[in-house]
Chains A and B, each alone.
Chain A
Amino acid sequence: DQQVKQNSPSLSVQEGRISILNCDYTNSMFDYFLWYKKYPAEGPTFLISISSIKDKNEDGRFTVFLNKSAKHLSLHIVPSQPGDSAVYFCAANAGNQFYFGTGTSLTVIP
Chain B
Amino acid sequence: EAGVAQSPRYKIIEKRQSVAFWCNPISGHATLYWYQQILGQGPKLLIQFQNNGVVDDSQLPKDRFSAERLKGVDSTLKIQPAKLEDSAVYLCASSFGASGAYEQYFGPGTRLTVT
Contacts and interface: CB of A to CB of B under 8 A. Distances in A.
11 contacts: A43-B106, A43-B107, A44-B91, A49-B100, A89-B43, A92-B100, A93-B99, A96-B48, A96-B56, A98-B104, A100-B42
A96 B45 CA distance: 10
Interface of B: 4, 33, 40-45, 48, 55-56, 58, 91, 93, 98-101, 103-109
Interface of A: 4, 6, 31-34, 36, 41-46, 49, 51, 89, 91-93, 96-103
Nearest to B55: A96
Closest 9 CB pairs of A and B: A32-B100, A93-B100, A43-B106, A100-B42, A96-B56, A46-B103, A100-B43, A44-B106, A102-B42
A6, A34, A92, A96 — most chain B CB neighbours (10 Å): A96
Contact of A97 (B56, B91, B108): B56
Contacts of B107: 43
A49 B103 contact: yes
A101 B42 CA distance: 5
Contact of A98 (B4, B41, B45, B103): B45
B42 A89 contact: yes
Given A93-B99, A96-B98, A46 B104 contact: yes
Contacts of A36: 106
Contacts of B40: 102
Contacts of B108: 41-43
A33 B40 CA distance: 21
Given A43-B109, A46-B105, A31 B42 contact: no
Given A41-B108, A91-B100, A96-B48, 6 more contacts: A32-B99, A33-B100, A43-B91, A45-B106, A46-B103, A98-B100
A50 B105 CA distance: 17
